[in-house]
A and B are shown apart, each in its own frame.
Chain A
Amino acid sequence: MKPQSLISSFNPANNPDTLASHERAEIDASTRFPVLLFFSSAIFWLLVGSLFGLISAWKMTHPALLDQMAWLTFGRLRPAHLNAVIYGWASAAGIGVGIWLMARLCRVPLLHSKLLISAAIFWNLGVLVGVLGILAGDSRSIEWLEFPGYATPILFVAYAFIGIWAIIMFRFRKPGHVYVSQWYLFAAFLWFPWLYATANILLIWQPIQGSAQGAVNWWFAHNVLGLWFTPIGLASAYYMIPKVIGRPIHSYYLSILGFWSLALFYSWNGMHHLIGGPFPAWMVSASVVASIMMFIPVVTVAINHHMTMRGHFGALKWSPTLRFTVFGAMTYTLVSLQGSSMAIPSLNTLTHFTDYTIGHAHLGLYGFFTMMMFGAMYYIVPRLTGWEWPSAQAIRWHFWLVAIGIILMVVSLSIGGVLQGLALYDPQVSFRNSLDYATPFRWLRGISGFFLLGGHLVFAGLFTAMLLKIGRPKDGPAYFTAPAKVEASPL
């Protein structure tokens, strides 16, 4: 029997309309240049961003480190790190993965690739101008929106090209089923410009007054995670997991429930970053409730992915894509439940204003999203370059360096953060103790940065080898071990 493609096997009511492998190859080839452009620039910013992060981390334990020059001060390097990884790495990687998924799932070769190439150029120009602006001292210190007002319009133009392209792709897709990954991508491509435009207009270009800024700020910052990175990450998981193990998603209905509950509840998050702050109580309460309700979409997606994987966990042994993706998917469950718990005011009391929040943010953006992007790239890049990853051993190094790195970082920041929170809360304890408690854990976090940067260098090396077509393995794709049986479709 001919193996059904994922798209058709997904919904039993649909007739199979499997793409022939040559059609799929044609679609992949059409996405080659723009997707590789986004990926290469993303990896560049990942390296830059990790370096900024590493230096910032060590400044917490060594305040005299590189304190001579304004542009290297902690208060500039930290936002430069955040914005480089958010916009330079994560968004660009997500856009690249999104483009490829869209073309595959719309089942048409990519239309108007010039729009996307222009978008990639503008996007990177915007990030470059923005990061330099922060280092030069033009940041307004509004978290997640530090890029100065002269950089963000460039990013917005880039985004407009992508949005227009996405609409065209949807418009000219092949008739038939709209797969769950497409719902997420469609929503993310719609939400992001709305979020970004609102926040930029109200906070950067025509700043509104007073504490209302805080509300808009955290509505934006939390929703960039929830309604931009999360849907792209989930779209990738919904595609990669079934694709690698060769069986459809467990339940269509759980997919629907997960999607709509995410749309409803995630968008109301944000104000829980400001519990006790200068806002009407109902706004904060609404976000706390929405944050706790996130339990529904998260558990729904977790069950759906787990049931899909059930009986196929052995594939984690050989497939790099699956190993990174499943790590990301499991972290998604963990970080979301942790986030819900942090919104409960009594627990928030302990973790607010501490390193615990930093650990949580990294667990989300790194443990979930970044790992998901690595997994997707391991799947996509060979299909674009017509080359195989040169070394399974190097991929193994990449995985273990970043997995150990992120676990070490999150565990140390979480423990240190709680101790710091206890010290900050107890009126009998001096402020100094909150530093003393946190310091050993900040050392550990600094060490974790070397693991992450090391992993990124390995990955950048592998990716460069793919672009230059160096060192292809003789016997097919670079799996960790020989797959028990290759169930995935050949392309």
Chain B
Amino acid sequence: MNRLPLIFLGVFITFASSWLGLVAYPFLTLGRMQPLPDEDTGGYFPPSKSGLAIAGQRAYAANGCVYCHSQQVRLAPLSTDIAKGLGPRQTVARDYLRAQPAFLGTMRTGPDLSNIGVRQPDANWHHKHLYEPRTVTDWSIMPSFRYLYKLQKIEGQPSADALKGLSGPHAPPPGYEVIPSDDAKVLVAYLLSLKRNYPLPESPEPPTN
């Protein structure tokens, strides 16, 4: 193999084949998929996200949630995701149309979040959990995201935003309250928006038994 043009050609063609298959093809198909109209309500599946939830994706990315939490529900027998209650059905390409970026994830150091908005619809629970995970799950190894919250003195009336139900060693001292920052608010809005339980024809719910 002393002829460089031949080596170049081979190296080019082998690589181009994978580029066409694994980059250009998904770009042209999955990348152009559209939401499905919902005839009953005039809405779409997946439903559009609120502005707060869209902004929350940035906070999710900035703080690296994806390194421990996946967002994929997979079918049996590859996984037991549905039996474990991670979602009613497999997640498919259309579920990620509005995700930017698509946080598919590769680790489950923490639980899957595809449907966390269904499992935990309470914003205050999420704030408490982010502020100090051990207040809601004592064996959790999730880090505290206390830096997204502000401890402040109560002036007059307590703020409407203040976290409720913080107790024990994590409770603010008397006369103080814990207030979520804008990043914390959008992050929770995003987590609450994670609901992949709407019907999609390409992903029927498997029968439960």
Contacts and interface: CB of A to CB of B under 8 A. Distances in A.
A43 to B, nearest CB: 26
A202 B23 CA distance: 9
A216 B29 CA distance: 13
Given A63-B141, A278-B72, A73 B147 contact: yes
B178 to A, nearest CB: 15
Given A73-B145, A187-B7, A187-B11, A357 B106 contact: yes
Contacts of B75: 276
A275 B63 contact: no
B117 interface: no
B140 A279 contact: no
B78 A283 contact: no
Contact of A68 (B64, B68, B103, B147): B147
A22 B66 CA distance: 55
Interface in A258-277: 260, 263-264, 267-268, 270-271, 273-277
A310 to B, nearest CB: 24
A208 B80 CA distance: 30
Interface stretch (B37-45, B90-98, B121-129, B152-160): B90-98
Contact of B102 (A211, A268, A287, A348): A211
Contacts of A436: 139
B61 A141 contact: yes
B21 A183 contact: no
A38 to B, nearest CB: 24
Contacts of A431: 111
B109 interface: yes
A68 B146 contact: yes
Contacts of A287: 22
Nearest to B33: A210
Contacts of B102: 210-211, 213-214
Nearest to B63: A75
B134 to A, nearest CB: 8
For chain B, give the interface size range: 35 or more
B173 interface: no
A215 B19 contact: no
A458 B128 CA distance: 45
A410 B67 CA distance: 19
Interface in A274-310: 274-280, 283, 286-287
A468 interface: no
Contacts of B142: 63
Contacts of A78: 64, 67
A277 B74 contact: yes
Contacts of A271: 22
B79 interface: yes
For chain A, give the interface size range: 35 or more
Contacts of A318: none
Contacts of A215: 22-23, 26, 30
Contacts of B106: 143, 273, 352-353, 357
B7 A279 contact: no
Given A270-B22, A275-B78, A139 B61 contact: yes
A209 B32 contact: yes
Nearest to B142: A63
A164 to B, nearest CB: 16
A178 B111 CA distance: 52
A212 B27 contact: yes
Contact of A427 (B70, B84, B145): B84
B7 A183 contact: yes
B136 interface: no
B101 A141 contact: yes
A357 B100 CA distance: 25
Nearest to B62: A137
Contacts of A260: 10, 14
B50 interface: no
A421 to B, nearest CB: 9
B64 A256 contact: no
A194 B8 CA distance: 14
A198 interface: yes
A210 B4 contact: no
B191 to A, nearest CB: 14
A67 interface: yes
Nearest to B85: A427
Contacts of B22: 215-216, 219, 268, 270-271, 283, 286-287
A147 B174 CA distance: 42
A235 to B, nearest CB: 13
A74 interface: yes
B79 A212 contact: no
A68 B146 CA distance: 7
Given A139-B62, A202-B23, A357-B106, A227 B15 contact: yes
B83 interface: yes
13 contacts: A60-B109, A64-B143, A70-B147, A73-B145, A76-B63, A140-B61, A142-B101, A143-B66, A210-B96, A211-B30, A353-B106, A435-B141, A436-B139
Given A63-B144, A209-B33, A357-B107, 17 more contacts: A59-B143, A63-B140, A69-B147, A70-B147, A70-B148, A75-B67, A139-B62, A140-B101, A183-B7, A198-B19, A202-B23, A209-B31, A267-B17, A267-B19, A286-B21, A355-B109, A424-B108
Interface of B: 1-2, 4, 7-8, 10-12, 14-15, 17-19, 21-23, 25-27, 29-33, 60-68, 70, 72, 74-75, 77-80, 83-84, 91-109, 111, 133, 139-148
Please name the 5 residue pairs, one residue from A and one from B, whose CB atoms are nearest each other, closest first. A75-B64, A276-B74, A267-B18, A353-B108, A137-B62
Interface of A: 59-61, 63-64, 67-70, 73-76, 78-79, 137-143, 170, 176-178, 183, 186-187, 190-191, 194, 198, 202-203, 207-216, 219, 223, 227, 256, 260, 263-264, 267-268, 270-271, 273-280, 283, 286-287, 345, 348-349, 352-355, 357-358, 424-427, 431-432, 434-436, 439
